[in-house]
Amino acid sequence: METIVEINNLTKEFKGKRAVEDVSFSIKPGEVVAILGPNGAGKSTAILMMLGLLHPTSGTVSLFNQKPQEQKVRERIGVMLQQVSIMDALKVKELLALFRSYYPTPLSMEEMIRLTGMQGSELNRRTDKLSGGQKRRVSFALAMAGNPDLVFFDEPTVGMDSTARKQFWEKVRQHANAGKTVLFSTHYLQEADDVATRILLFNEGKLVADGSPASIKQRLLKKAVSFKMDGHFPKEQFLAMEHISDVSEEKGRIVIQTEDTDRVLSSLFSIEMPISDIAIDKGRLEDAFEQLTVEQGVS
């Protein structure tokens, strides 16, 4: 099976500061991969290096087993970057035709027009006269012009309302269902979970986790058992118990962090702790993600 993306020990330094640090992974055909991470995690820098638009300080990138700058590679990829820059002097229709001409097996003009969601005289409008949302849809159509085997989207849904977001992902899903590979970056954990088959979790330039959305969630979610307790709070005793990673007192309740809430409960009952008003918290994704921005990473 052809490897679509292969990255080895990729590092990028800007004035001595590492934006991407020793990242390695490979992507197979048909994967829908989310690069997930907070602001400044290195997502855009990694994507620009994958596209050959930024030279790595060290490490290698290959797309379809070739350098990203190769013409043969260019013909098989599509790109939508964060800054929407489309040529202002052209009409929408002219721009679509121009991009189609770059590729050996482009989408039909009708298909591209459908992706823009525009009709009739709108297509004769110069692109500098379009709204922000229209510009984004046109850049999406341009990214898809070559019916790409691999398409990159850098934070594609920033600034889209929920309807536009839904429509966008629907079209991306259709493309993926045809066996194409999709790589996108996002801040939104929910989006990565909804759309991706695999999540690469970045934090402070490092790849801190790589797996299915389910496995990443399991790894990130902090589960807890909390309760009220009569008398003295025996913190050390709790910390010495198995499966308990942390204990704190919050708003009159004892909160125990654990990977296994069932076992902790059964231990608490077996030693007959005077506890009441027990609650189990299975963890919230958004909290888990926020945690990442303050931790060094997930080990």
Ligand X SMILES: Nc1ncnc2c1ncn2[C@@H]1O[C@H](COP(=O)(O)OP(=O)(O)OP(=O)(O)O)[C@@H](O)[C@H]1O
Q: Give the interface with ligand X as residue ranges (CB under 6 A).
A: 14, 19, 37, 39-45, 187
Complex with ligand X: residue 159 or 234, whichever CB lies closer: 159
Output 45 or 258, the one with its CB closest to ligand X: 45
Nearest residue to 137 (alpha-carbon basis) of 151, 120, 157, 152: 157
State in angstroms the smallest separation of the CB of 231 from ligand X. 48
Q: Closest CB to ligand X among 17 and 282?
A: 17
The closest alpha carbon to 201, from 213, 191, 153, 10, belongs to: 213
Q: Contacts by 267-273 with C-beta closer than 8 Å and gap 24+?
A: 267/241, 267/242, 267/243, 268/225, 268/227, 273/229
Nearest to 46 by CA among 68, 21, 66: 21
Distance CA 157, CA 169 (A): 9
DSSP assigned state of 39: T
Q: Which is nearer to ligand X, 149 or 155 (CB)?
A: 155
The minimum distance between CB 53 and ligand X, in angstroms, equals 11
Q: Outline where the chain has alpha helix (H).
A: 43-50, 71-74, 92-101, 109-116, 132-143, 162-177, 189-195, 213-220, 235-240, 261-270, 285-294
> What's the min distance (Å) between Cβ of 275 and ligand X?
43
Helix (H) or strand (E) holding 184: strand 181-186
Q: Least distance in Å: CB of 14 to ligand X?
A: 3
Cβ-based nearer residue to ligand X, 38 or 117: 38
- Residue 8 CB, nearest distance to ligand X (Å)? 19
Nearer to ligand X, 277 or 286 (CB): 286
**Beta carbon of residue 79, minimum distance to ligand X (angstroms, whole number):** 15
Strand pairing class (198-203; 32-36): parallel
